[in-house]
Structure 1
Amino acid sequence: MRTTLRISEIFHSLQGETRRMGLPTVFVRLTGCPMRCGYCDSAYAFTGGKTLEIDVIMQQIRDFGCKTICVTGGEPLAQKAVHLLFAQLCDEGFDVSVETGGGQPIDTVDPRVSRVLDIKTPGSGEMHNMHWPNVDAVNQNDEIKFVLVDRADYEWARDKVRAEQLELRAPVIFSPVWESLKPADLAQWVIDDRLPVRVQVQLHKILWGDKPGV
């Protein structure tokens, strides 16, 4: 296996999503993604970046002095050497999560890593590229996320949560697409339907806007 990864950026910020929302976090954003969701907010990571040895990446992470790490993309699981990074981070006692678009198998991810699985909705335009066995692989250490474009997306996701009782497998997040679906509307729908999910807004965008490095 290669010992290098193509990296778009490594930065220190606050986690704006998931149950780690608000925690100071080091983000390791990998370059490249086989999906092209219509609402993607990190398309700048599709290309470019730098090829770095995992030892170099580890040292950059250590230099921030922060124990919470989020490996993201792009699609981090598209680079197989990411599993070496996971192992080293976990062995050194970091609290590690990975944000995956769901198109790559997650069952080979180190079990010490919390997997945030994005289930693609009709509005994403990428349902056909989902690796659906991932839904059966999650556990309570993980999270399931639906990024919602509109009311139709919400109803599709609501029905899937109910039909498969997804909240019994892992905590479920409903997140509105930035400046597309009003968070207050989504919140009211969840309340009206008594849905056992967490409504999430992207804290980093509220604080600093929609830009890289936050």
Structure 2
Amino acid sequence: MLRVTEVFYSLQGEARSVGCPTVFVRLTGCPLRCSYCDTAYAFHGGTRVSLDDVLERVAQYAPRYVCVTGGEPLAQPACRTLLARLADRGYAVSLETSGALDIADIDARVSIVMDLKTPSSGEEARNRYANVALLRPADQVKFVIRDRADYEWSRARLAEYGLADRCEILFSPVHGELDPTTLADWILAERLPVRLQIQLHKLLWHGAPGR
């Protein structure tokens, strides 16, 4: 069983498959409380649903892409089984995770999008850096950046762990707080090997839940 906040169909707003029609499975619960969190409604509540029921709801959309997100999906042990069963069905599966929980033993067919928490999140101390060694070329690391201090911290982690040599790196401004053009200028000025990410779903639907 899983506790599920919502299953919905939308365009992927972030990461490598941005813009692609995607089914999102949003699991309930998260042990972190990031200051810039935009899905706090998934911290509590949700509905207990069997794995088979989740798979049936996903199949109704006949998707190519499926994203398992939260909350923090890995806070539920059955998430790993869900990821494997989704991959068994031939979907291109991604997992959005905070990086505070162990990413070992996740099905190799799943693309992990791991969010390293910047200082302004208030959860920097929760980063599990042992996860870095487990990242593969198909994975991605995201930094959510609120200000110049976050940017400098992210740049330092990029160099310290050689992240750009491991997988794709995403720098994303906190929506409505850091001008994306400013972040773009910082990236270009220092020739960083990262991708600027702007949350497409917020531009289209202004952050409405389920979009």
TM range (shorter): over 0.9
Residue 87 of structure 1 aligns to a residue whose secondary structure is helix
* Residue in 2 that maps onto 1:37: 34
* Residue in 2 that maps onto 1:98: 95
Instruction: Give the share of equivalent positions with the same residue, in percent.
Output: 51
Match for 1:161 among 152, 158, 163? 158
Please state how far the C-alpha of 1:35 moved relative to its aligned partner: 0.2
**C-alpha distance after superposition, 1:177-201 (max 9, x if no partner):** 0111110000000000110000000
- TM-score with structure 1 setting the length: 0.97
* Residue in 1 that maps onto 2:113: 116
- The question of 1:51 aligning with 2:45 is answered no
Q: Which amino acid aligns with 1:25?
A: T
- 1:1-214 correspondence to structure 2 within 5 Å: 4-214=1-211
Q: Kindly report structure 1 stretches of 4+ aligned residues shifted beyond 3 Å.
A: none
Q: Which amino acid aligns with 2:125?
A: H
Between stretches 188-197 and 83-92, larger displacement belongs to 83-92
Please state how far the C-alpha of 1:135 moved relative to its aligned partner: 1.4
**C-alpha distance after superposition, 1:90-149 (max 9, x if no partner):** 111111000001111001211110000101111111011121111111011100100011
Instruction: Show structure 1 runs of 5+ residues with no match.
Output: none
Distance in 1 between residues matched to 2:97 and 2:33, nearest whole Å: 13
Distance in 1 between residues matched to 2:185 and 2:77, nearest whole Å: 41
Please state how far the C-alpha of 1:67 moved relative to its aligned partner: 1.9
Q: Which amino acid aligns with 1:105?
A: D
Please state how far the C-alpha of 1:42 moved relative to its aligned partner: 0.2
Instruction: Show structure 2 runs of 5+ residues with no match.
Output: none
Distance in 1 between residues matched to 2:162 and 2:86, nearest whole Å: 32
- TM-score with structure 2 setting the length: 0.98
Please state how far the C-alpha of 1:82 moved relative to its aligned partner: 0.8
Please state how far the C-alpha of 1:170 moved relative to its aligned partner: 0.5
Give the number of aligned pairs: 211
Please state how far the C-alpha of 1:205 moved relative to its aligned partner: 0.4
